[in-house]
Amino acid sequence: MKITSIAHSNIALIKFFGKSDNNLRIPTNNSLSMSLSAAVTMTTVEFSDNYPEDGIQMIGETLSEIEKNRIIRHLDRIRKIANKNLSAKVVTQNSFPKSTGIASSASGFAALTVAGTKAIGLDMSEKELSTLARLASGSACRSIPSGYVEWEKGNSHETSFAHSIYPPGYWDLRDLVVVVEKSPKKISTSAVHEMAKTSPFFVKRLTGMDEKIKCLKNAFDKKNFEMFGEIVEHEAFNMHAVMMTMNPPVIYWTPQTVEIIMGIHNLRAQKIPVYFTLDAGPNVHCICEGKYEKQILSYLKRMKNIQEIIVNHPGEGAYLSEGHLF
């Protein structure tokens, strides 16, 4: 049976960075995220004995052999759970450029998990889908639930999963993703997680983590945007400071990244409440309340060297779609 799923990418407000178990992708800390309404992957999967081998295609982009093999490894996990040895056809499409710090692996592997398990005849709960998606890409477990999400680090496969902490409508926030670079990053996040412990600041980062998460949840409860933004921006600087002090150091920023950050600080100096965060890439996620969207967009659009701005509201979790890609 042909099944299609749509999943949204997510932006980490508190980052997943560093793993306590590499194979199971168990993180060293809990993370918090917002689902991104406009950054979506659509994936159609069909298992059949008519297919001699797995066929993987991404519309509009070329997948490397490494990327194809990562998808096949996830199909293998699904086949193992279902105890079925059928090859699959997978066709997938992103609404945004992959591997540029907009978490295409999160939406990609969440969509593959939901479509793939259903297509092979499995009926999994949200928690089971989240744990399974995590094995392919950590942040993908946060793209299964809806709205604002927490990934509990847990200490085993079954206990490390994400769940919704607030529905999308709880707080009308925006993530305006300023795309300054569309070419894929040179160092994958999988590699970077394994290097995290080489920074002398990694242990320090973890020491303050529980308190930071508590404070962010408090800001959520009070819908106190300034308190929220200060924590989110500090967290982004913190993770990138660890990345820049690893051995060898990794710098995802470009001169344009810094220009946008300075622009955001300039807006704040003019009493416009906007903060930024960054994943493992140069593109800047500008976080604001909905009522300031127009004002901030018109400022950002006047900045130089911007390729695109993707406007995101809090998005849904992964779901099944009637339309198919083949």
Residue type present at position 209: M
Q: Which residue has the tokens 């709880």?
A: 170
Interface with ligand PMV (CB under 6 A), residue from 9, 94, 131, 139: 139
Position 34 contacts ligand PMV (CB under 6 A) = no
Under rule CB under 6 A, residue 30 binds ligand PMV: no
Tell me how far apart the alpha carbons of residues 32 and 215 are, in angstroms, rounded to a whole number: 12
Q: How far is the CB of 294 from ligand PMV (least distance, A)?
A: 28
- The site for ligand PMV, by CB under 6 A, has a size of 14
Q: Count other C-beta atoms under 10 Å from residue 105's C-beta.
A: 22
CB 284 within 8 A of CB 257: yes
Options 8-16, 160-168, 177-185, 259-267: segment touching ligand PMV (CB under 6 A): 8-16
| 103 is a site residue for ligand PMV (CB under 6 A) | yes
Distance separating the N- and C-terminal Cα atoms of the chain: 12
| CA proximity to 104, closest of 129, 136, 149, 131 | 136
* Residue choice 40, 279, 284, 318 for contact with ligand PMV (CB under 6 A): 279
| Number of neighbouring beta carbons within 10 Å of residue 169 | 10
Q: Determine contact, residues 277/232, Cβ cutoff 8 Å.
A: yes
User: With respect to ligand PMV, which residue has the nearer C-beta, 69 or 266?
Assistant: 69
C-alpha to C-alpha distances, 202 to 152, 154, 197, 245, 276, nearest whole angstrom = 19, 19, 6, 9, 21
From the list 3, 6, 8, 17, which residue makes contact with ligand PMV (rule: CB under 6 A)? 17
Residue from 6, 8, 16, 120 touching ligand PMV (CB under 6 A): that is: 16
CB-nearer residue toward ligand PMV: 93 or 190: 190
Q: Binding ligand PMV by CB under 6 A: which of 30, 95, 190, 295?
A: 190
* DSSP 8-state code for residue 63: P
Q: For ligand PMV, which residue of 43, 189, 199, 257 counts as binding (CB under 6 A)?
A: 189
CA distance 56 to 301: 37
Closer to ligand PMV at the Cβ: 3 or 318? 318
Separation of alpha carbons 30 and 216, rounded Å:
12
Nearer to ligand PMV, 116 or 120 (CB): 116
Q: Does 137 bind ligand PMV (CB under 6 A)?
A: yes
Nearest to ligand PMV of 31, 117 (CB atom): 31
Cis? peptide before 248, omega within 30° of 0:
yes
CB of 261 to ligand PMV, least distance (A): 17
Q: Which residues bind ligand PMV (CB under 6 A)?
A: 12, 15-17, 31, 103, 105, 137-139, 189-190, 279-280
